[in-house]
Each structure stands twice: as C-alpha cells, then as structure tokens.
C-alpha cells in the first residue's frame, strides 16, 4: 500500500473537469465521452491536481468526511481504478 500511496493520479490527456451551470452539477468531459460523477467522485476529482499523491488524497478526504482512513482508501482506490480503466485518469 505504501508504494501505491506515493503514486500521483492526474486527469488523462484531454479530460476536463468543470461545473455545468445549466445542470447545476460537476461534469468530467473527455474525447467523445462524458462522466457524470456522484458526490463521492466529485470530492476525489477535486483533489486531483497532478501534484497530490494517492496518500495525500486519502488523508484529505478522511479529514474532510471524518471517516476511517482505511475505508476511504478502499473507496478511492476502487474509484480511481475504474476511472483509469475508462481512460479518464492516468498515473
């Protein structure tokens, strides 16, 4: 886990994470694709800045939601793994 914690996720090339004023919701836009992230995914995506590593993201969320770190870590790992497979996140 410690090796994974130092890995830094970033949005894949061409991906844009922005607030859609018409729908009042965050959207993740990519080449011919659209992701409509739920609240948990939005919280993670807002912490992806190309500098913060996985461990830092989990720390920030554990603090933000006052939740057990291990639980947060598992959720974040699953979410980022899914977004990686779908070409939205790269490392």
Partner 1 sequence: MVAPPYGIVLELTHRCPLQCPYCSNPLRLERAADELPTATWCRILEQSAALGVLHAYFSGGEPMARRDFFDILRHASGLGLYTNLITSAVLLDADALREAVAAGLDHVQISFQDVGAADSDRMANYAGAYAKKRAAAELVRAAGLPLTLNFVVQRDNIARVPQMLALAEAIGAERVEIANVQYYGWALLNRAALLPTRAQLDAATAAVLAARARLRGRMVIDYVVPDYYAVEPKACMGGWARQLLTVSPAGRALPCHAAETLPGFDWPSLRTQPLAEIWQNSDAFTRYRGTEWMPEPCQSCARREIDWGGCRCQAFALTGDAARTDPACALSPDHALMQLAAEAAERPPPDLVYRRLGAALTPAE
Residues at the contact surface with partner 1, assessed by CB under 8 A:
12-14, 16, 18, 20, 22-23, 27, 29-32, 34, 84-87
Residue with smaller CB distance to partner 1, 8 or 12 = 12
Residue with smaller CB distance to partner 1, 16 or 66 = 16
| Coil vs helix vs strand at 38 | coil
- Give least dist CB 41 to partner 1, A: 17
Residue with smaller CB distance to partner 1, 39 or 85 = 85
Backbone angles phi, psi at 43, to 5 degrees: -60, -40
């Amino acid at each position: 886990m410690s090796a994974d914690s130092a890995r830094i996720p970033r949005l894949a090339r061409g991906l844009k994470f922005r607030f859609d004023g018409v729908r009042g919701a965050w959207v993740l836009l990519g080449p011919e694709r659209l992701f409509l992230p739920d609240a948990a995914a939005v919280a993670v995506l807002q912490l992806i800045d190309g500098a913060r590593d996985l461990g830092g993201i989990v720390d920030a969320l554990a603090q933000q939601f006052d939740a057990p770190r291990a639980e947060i870590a598992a959720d974040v790992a699953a979410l980022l793994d899914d977004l990686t497979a779908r070409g939205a996140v790269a490392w």
